[in-house]
A and B are shown apart, each in its own frame.
Chain A
């Protein structure tokens, strides 16, 4: 079977500033991959390249087919993207926002049909935001908004979910909720998930495979135990940490050791 995502030697530069250098990454169907790395290491750029909003050099194959052969409508049924933060300047209700995930499924001249409404409703139920459906998006808290955005992504019925630091602006409780939801979706729906992540400890707890980027290159790729070592963290982030097993004894957790 072809991998869900398969990239060969992806390189990308803004003007003359290189951001990605020969990134080759293969993600199997149903995998849950966390992309780690310090600010500016290319995490977000990699996701933007994967979702075809940026053109990079190199090759990207989705389900064995070159990404350039997909149209945007087709691509939006395969991929859904949850951004770090979404600005919506217009007064849309939650239901309207979630239904936008169905845009590629119905005729551009028609209103949403029964199927679209049913999928949107199910997505909202799954992310626990059905009760918000008639509220305006801009009235919601950061955590609620992020759940709505995930609901919209699910309404796209994608095979692959891309997330860019989905929990960056959330408090601890909502962070954990988002990660638990992602894990559930991954297990129950065999959804392939690729997420750029900030919090190394949460990444270690919820993601089975981690990819560490450093200056636009893949520095380590493997299980949390293989990637999150004291040596790697020192080399990539330049800080000293101690790595200890979590209470279950299976996942590594980082403890920061301030220099003074």
Chain B
């Protein structure tokens, strides 16, 4: 009888953590400009071009990519469990659209909203992630409400109303974009496209904070997530307070999605592809699947963004192109395979 034990937890997460560390270092050294690591580390505080590139340009971007890749993958895992459908992802639930709308309203209505940290000494931090979080949460609650019949969540309706809500929100965003003035519209488009390009460490730290809080919250629910994949009533009968669980999942994943959308838009396919690959390797126990997917998502986006930086250097590709390039065919392959196995959907 093979079951998840502590040894396996440590082994899998340890290996992935090591790979992640290697990826961060490796990706930091890769780029259009050749870096001399010893040079960069020698004299960090004086004006040193190698150190500038490493610590100002590449490292914050990589750290942000790791957080977002991990967050996307973790959200994918959790929403797939909630819907009992291994092909669900955040884009399908209308959450990402809601987060974008929330962020955009924040940008339009309060363009100068900045929260000073330590009286402004440490810099200022944008309110946009918070606005995007609220947008994500509200849209999730709305979509949830429309998928509730006789007090039960109907996954099929949740998927449909989520997809419809997302297109509706896209229209609202285009509308807003047409009524604001030219400069604002430029800014909005730039924000919507999203990118991982250079950010201040303070921003990176705050995004990490949002994502880590959301992730730990969800990880603590790992056992309940296993049970909810069996369906709402089965989970209840096995001892899960399902309504409370659903609400916590909504809040925690909105927290993560809001933060992610506020910096990078939704980077497609990470939340779909990574959980699937990881599930094939480590199994479906969410106590392991969730952290392993987080780490694997971090590794994946780290390399995808590096590819985006160097493929057409000195020009840059949006990282979404890279993930879609891998993700699109992968999704079709999955659908086909699932169809032939009569699993899911």
Q: Is the Cβ of A90 less than 8 Å from the Cβ of B237?
A: no
Given A75-B239, A83-B234, A89-B86, do A95 and B224 touch, yes or no (CB 8 Å)? no
Q: How distant is the Cα of A156 from the Cα of B239 in the complex, in angstroms?
A: 10
The answer, yes or no, to whether B230 is at the interface (CB within 8 Å) is yes
A81, B341: Cα distance in complex, Å: 28
Closest to A76 in B: B239
* Residue A72 is within 8 A (CB to CB) of chain B in the complex: yes
B240 within 8 A of A: yes
Partner of A90, one of B9, B240, B279: B279
A100–B237 CB distance below 8 A = no
In the complex, the answer to whether A112 meets B3 with C-beta atoms within 8 Å is yes
Determine whether the beta carbon of A72 is less than 8 Å from that of B240: yes
CB of B150 within 8 A of chain A? yes
A53 touching B2, Cβ below 8 Å: no
Given contacts A95-B1, A103-B239, A89 and B279 within 8 Å (CB-CB)? no
Whether B115 sits at the interface, judged by CB under 8 Å, is: no
A80 at the interface (CB under 8 A from B): yes
Q: Taking CB as reference atom, which chain B residue is nearest A130? A: B1
Q: Is B344 an interface residue (CB 8 A)?
A: yes
Using known A-B contacts A72-B240, A76-B237, A95-B2, determine if residue A89 contacts B227 with beta carbons closer than 8 Å. Answer: no
Least CB distance from A83 to B in Å reads: 7
- A window 53-88: CB within 8 A of B: 53, 71-73, 75-77, 79-81, 83, 86-88
Quick one: given A52-B236, A90-B279, are A138 and B3 in contact (CB under 8 Å)? no
* B229 adjacent to A88 (CB under 8 Å): yes
B221 to chain A, nearest CB (A): 8
| Contact (Cβ within 8 A) B226 A134 | no
For B342, give the chain A residue with the smallest CB separation.
Answer: A138
Q: Is A104 an interface residue (CB 8 A)?
A: yes
Task: For residue B187, give the distance in angstroms from its CB to the closest CB of chain A.
Answer: 42
Are the CB atoms of A89 and B5 closer together than 8 Å? Answer: no
Judge whether A175 is part of the interface by a CB distance below 8 angstroms.
Answer: no
Provide the bound-state CA to CA distance between A83 and B150, in Å. Answer: 19
Q: Which residues between 186 and 232 of chain B lie within 8 Å of chain A, taking CB atoms?
A: 220-224, 226-227, 229-231
Q: Does B85 contact A (CB under 8 A)?
A: yes
**Contact A111 B6, beta carbon cutoff 8 Å:** yes
How far, in Å, is B163 (CB) from chain A's closest CB? 19
Known: A95-B2, A112-B3, A134-B2. A104 touches B239 (CB 8 A): yes
A100: chain B residues within 8 A (beta carbon)? 226-227, 230, 238
B contact residues around A103 at 8 Å (CB): 223-224, 226-227, 238-240
A152 to B86, CA, bound (A): 23
User: What distance in Å separates the Cβ of B312 from its nearest Cβ neighbour in chain A?
Assistant: 39
Chain B: interface residue total (CB-CB under 8 A): 38
Complex Cα distance, B238 from A80, in Å, reads 8
- Encode B1-25 as 1/0 by CB contact (under 8 A) with A: 1111110010000000000000000
Which chain B residues lie closer than 8 Å to A138 at the CB level?
341, 343
Residue from the list B9, B222, B233, B285 in contact with A96, Cβ < 8 A: B285
Contact with A along B232-248 (1 / 0, CB 8 A): 01101111110000000
Find out whether the CB atom of A111 lies under 8 angstroms from the CB atom of B287: yes
The one of A83, A89, A92, A109 in contact with B220, judged by C-beta atoms closer than 8 angstroms, is A109
At the interface, yes or no: B283 with Cβ under 8 Å from chain A? yes
Inside 8 A of A124's CB, which chain B residues have their CB?
1
Q: Which residue of A lies closest to B236 (CB)?
A: A53
Question: Are B1's CB and A90's CB within 8 A?
Answer: no
| Complex CA distance for A103 and B224, rounded to whole angstroms | 8
Q: Does B284 contact A (CB under 8 A)?
A: yes
Contact B1 A133 (CB under 8 A): yes
CB distance from B231 to the nearest CB of A (A): 7
Q: Find chain A residues with CB under 8 A from B6 CB.
A: 111
Q: Any chain A CB within 8 A of the CB of B84?
A: yes
Task: Give the CA-CA distance A255 to B299 in the complex, in Å.
Answer: 67
CB distance from B182 to the nearest CB of A (A): 49
The answer to whether A111 and B9 touch across the interface, beta carbons within 8 angstroms, is yes
Q: Select from chain B the residue with minimum beta-carbon distance to A14.
A: B150
Q: Is B1 a contact of A117 with CB atoms below 8 Å? A: yes
Looking at the complex, which one of B2, B233, B238, B343 makes contact with A48 (CB distance below 8 Å)? B233
By a beta-carbon cutoff of 8 Å, the part of chain B in contact with chain A is 1-6, 9, 81, 84-86, 150, 220-224, 226-227, 229-231, 233-234, 236-241, 279, 283-285, 287, 341, 343-344
A-B contact pairs, 16 of them (CB 8 A): A48-B233, A53-B233, A72-B240, A77-B239, A83-B234, A89-B84, A89-B86, A96-B226, A100-B227, A101-B238, A103-B224, A103-B226, A108-B221, A109-B223, A112-B3, A120-B1
